[in-house]
Structure 1
Amino acid sequence: MSHGSEFSEGDLRKTGLSLKHDREWDYELERIVEACEERDATTVGLQFPEGLKRRGSAVADDLGELLGDDVSIMISGQPCYGACDLDTYLLRRTDVFVHFGHSPMKESDKIIYVPLFSNVEVAPIMEEALEKLPEEEVGLVTTAQHMNRFDEMRSWLEERGYTVHTRRGDERLTHEGQVLGCNYASADIDAEQILYVGGGKFHPLGLAMEHPEKRVVIADPVNNVVTIADTEKFMKQRYGAVHRAMDAETWGVVFCTKIGQGRWETAIEIVENNDNAYLLTMDEVTPDRLRNFGFDAFVNTGCPRITTDDGPQFHKPMLTPGEYEIAVGNAPLEDLSFDTFHGTW
């Protein structure tokens, strides 16, 4: 399952921090130790995204040497797809909880976010992207893994005569110019073209869907390619899912219990207004789990990427809340749009 994941292990920042077991990445152990000392912590929880789980034991060993035998260190084995995806069980049972690989989203004196940044140079791929940026004004966005070079990107464009538009989106976003897999508010800028610097196709696809009036140029420094975001294939897939769901008689309304990913009010509103809709609560939403239910179609009120990334794998149509409204006749087909999260959690 790929929904929400914005982290690639091969795209991290190398540092000179001397660690016994792992000299490649800076896990900011000194900051973690300081927080543990301030809280007189006796239990520490560590959570890693999928690409970094293999390094969990090494980080725990190094941290254990610094903290001493009186502090217990536990590693979360739960899937982790983003900054909003915290292991709440482990969080409740530890004095300090450390989330690696993503920018802060839920501020707390107990939760420590340790972002890990890309070491890839961005100038070469931005140079290639120039021929696809004919206008003098350009919007600039990137993901958390490249935020360490955001000022460099902006200056680079300005030195070549561009007027660069950037903004910080809403409360879910930590940095100016940052986009998430569920939030593209930083692209609400006065420019007809947007340069997205980063890997993967999902983020620029979301940008293009959320802002159809803008041209989204993808400069991928990891795979060293420049492309234009194309929503046609995705739109056909979503239209197909909506059409298949129009004949549905029974609905499973999925509420994801992962902290930061659930939309309780949305789920309850659908169930209360449809006698044939049933609320399903799940921590991990997968095609295999939903095969056990006999509903004709499903509505996902959790992370939007469950629907968009894995939609074709579900045995029955899996719709977003907006698509559901179209399928049951409450909204016209032309209202189909990309599902996003806004605001805090």
Structure 2
Amino acid sequence: MNLEHFLKNEAPSWMSKSGTDADIVISTRIRLARNLEGYKFPRVSSEQEAKHVDNVVTNALLNIKKGERNFSHFTIKEMPALQRQVLVEKHLISPLLAKKEKSASVVLSNDESISVMVNEEDHLRIQCLSPGFQLFETYEIADQLDSYLEKHLPYAFNETFGYLTCCPTNVGTGLRASVMMHLPALTMSNQMKVITQMLTRLGMVVRGIYGEGSENLGNMYQISNQVTLGKSEQEILEDLQNVVSQIIQNERNARGSLMKQAPIALEDRIQRALGTLKYARIMTSDEAATCLSNVRLGVDLGLIKGIPISILNECMIFIQQGFVQQYAGTTLQATERDLFRAKLLREKLNVENQNSKEKGEEKYDV
């Protein structure tokens, strides 16, 4: 596949599928950090060493039998900044990898559910993404790919400490499991601060939509483990599974309370958000994310009909700075992005509403 396949103006194909607890859990991500024995970590390696690591890793991946998994390889420094930003916004590469000038690359599966980042913070970052709440299923995919690579690559491993990584917090299993959750009711009822503090005590962390250092956008929170040493992969996954299951129940309870205590105010908030998305001429990314969050809540509660969740997932990607410019086909200033973002959202939601009416589905009211 060429790079244009992964930059096309649509969400990743895995995102269009339905997953478990999809009304609250957007996606599950498994990331494994690995390094090659005998090579310096990427932060201190020479360009020659980085290039050699890149070649060794990508050759191992590209030699996987076709039909089992097809991969494409792309060099980061050969991409314009806008293309890098779009890949970040599609969660295919990290913000750190996007900034790399030394030899670094990404290897992507054709369905965009797997990306292997080469020479990011570690020599390899194996990432697998699935829709909904699928921790163990997603880990199984990552583990199979990891096992294959371990047969062909000399991993840096210590019998006492486990897999050796650049950052000490990743030593051990090298596993970061995270779940992207939509938690509008817990946010509206001011419960997220307490939940965040509780998760910290349990050795977990709450981050924004693009991981460490990123902001909470549209009531989206990334819940992940923070401890990788001293626990097995199974224990890490079970702990996160239990915590996320409890948060899902708390969010559903909070939604029920909002519906019971202030149904008119809640519906007004949701319908105002829908009206803004349908008719606004200028839209910042923050405002768009907030409105999309409210509309998504309305869909989940049955207050809005005729808008597929997959379209709302897609719109959350489309409103980002890089994707707006990619869609427009040109570089845009901040005000121009706000204008084009509003136009894009109007088109997406009105087209979907028209499609629903043509299929005889109940349309939403504004």
Same fold (TM over 0.5): no
Q: TM-score, normalised by structure 1?
A: 0.29
Q: Considering Cα pairs closer than 8 Å and 6+ residues apart, tell me whether 1 or 2 has the greater RCO.
A: 2
Q: Which has the higher helix share?
A: 2
Q: TM-score, normalised by structure 2?
A: 0.28
